[in-house]
Amino acid sequence: MALVTTAEVCDANPQLISSGELRALQPIFQIYGRRQVFSGPIVTLKVFEDNVLVREFLEEKGNGRVLVVDGGGSLRCAILGGNPVVQAQNNGWAGIVVNGCIRDVDEINGCDIGVRALASHPMKANKKGMGEKHVPITISGTRISDGEWLYADTDGILISRTELSV
């Protein structure tokens, strides 16, 4: 994905866009982390103002996957912080997309991993362990399923039903 931009992928695949096999997320995410371009198979997680399951996932080996967290769009606390992002980087995750807030931005920006989130917030999340793993999620009207592929660069984020040959 480093040589072909998301814009070029969109231009070259109008049939995949019209069929819904290739979708662009709305441009609501801020860019964090040192890796501005990343891609990989998606693992989904749905939580609300609780980060226990986020931390559990990132403790696993990432194997180039991208964790996509539907945090309900909450702007009231951060569901991802610096320590789990360092762990994700060390465990081989390609990236993390959070429909919610993060914190420890300076630490995250020092990590060699791609992170997208709505905003930063200094307050920490609850620790109840509530949420759903590997379920279809919807972020700003775009449905995302476990096992689909995510492609991100500075132009935006694409979701594809299958791995694209670029």
81 is in an annotated binding site: yes
- Token pair of 152 as six digits: 């991100």
CB 81 within 8 A of CB 124: yes
83 is in an annotated binding site: yes
The pTM of this model reads: 0.96
What are the backbone angles phi and psi of residue 107, rounded to the nearest 5°? Answer: -65, -45
DSSP string for 89-119? HHTT--EEEEEEEE--HHHHHTSSSEEEEEE
Residue 9, Cα to own-chain centre: how many angstroms? 19
114 is in an annotated binding site: no
Residue 69, Cα to own-chain centre: how many angstroms? 6
Per the listing, tokens 């662009």 go with: 24
CB 133 within 8 A of CB 45: yes
Q: Rounded to whole angstroms, how far apart are CA atoms 117 and 101?
A: 6
Helices (H) and strands (E) in the chain, counts: 5, 12
104 is in an annotated binding site: yes
pLDDT in tens, the chain (166 residues): 446 799 999 999 999 999 999 999 999 999 999 999 999 999 999 999 999 999 999 999 999 999 999 999 999 999 999 999 999 999 999 999 999 999 999 999 999 999 999 999 999 999 999 999 999 999 999 999 999 999 999 999 999 999 987 6
Which residues are paired to 132 by β-bridges? 46
CB 158 within 8 A of CB 23: yes
